[in-house]
Amino acid sequence: MSNISTSSNSVVEQEQLFTDLTPEQGAVIEGGAWLYLYKATAIKAGADFGWSNGDDVYARINGDKTSTTNDVDTGETANFSKWKQFSGTASINLFDSDGGLAGDDDSLGGFTVGSTPTNGYVTTRISGSGSTYDVTYAVYA
């Protein structure tokens, strides 16, 4: 039975090793790329004009929704700090949540990134629904 025990321990150790990898290391092993969506700063928050003072900002990365930061006023920043693995391209789209179905939320614009590493943070300006945001991200591959 000692052989079975040894084999079982080995599997556990491999799983722990993989869990301890940083996303950059994981990307190298799996052949994919990682997007780190860091933050979005409101140059102009205007998607809730007439309702409240700030936008309620969340992002979708290839459809996956981040958490929402409510009442983001002009000059304020929504932090996503979200890792997402992808292959090929990743689309990043920001929205102002209006509390209903996703289809009712206002588009704040978006962009697409490829799997070429950015060598640090990149900031892209997007606009939509009366708002303008500077979105900061990095790509690791």
Q: Which spans of this chain sit near Ca ion (rule: CB under 5 A)?
A: 47-48, 56, 96, 98, 106
Which of 96/115 has CB closer to Ca ion?
Answer: 96
Q: Are strands 77-86 and 89-96 parallel, antiparallel or unpaired?
A: unpaired
Q: How far is the CB of 27 from Ca ion (least distance, A)?
A: 34
Residue of minimal Cβ distance to Ca ion: 56
Nearest-angstrom CA–CA distance, 66 and 127: 19
Residue 55 three-state SS: strand
Which residue number, 53 or 89, has a Cβ lying nearer to Ca ion?
53
Question: Smallest gap, in angstroms, from Cβ of residue 132 to Ca ion?
Answer: 15
> Which residues does 13 contact at the CB level (< 8 Å), separation at least 6?
none
Query: Least separation, in Å, of the C-beta of 105 and Ca ion?
Result: 7
Our CB check for Ca ion shows the closer of 82 and 128 to be: 128
Judge contact between 69 and 58, C-beta under 8 A.
yes
DSSP 6-63: HHHHHHHHHHHHHHHS-HHHHHHHHT-EEEEEEEEEEEE--TTTTT-SSEEEEEEETT
Which of 108, 135 has the CB closer to Ca ion? 108
Q: Residue 57 Cβ, how far from Ca ion at the closest point, in Å? A: 9
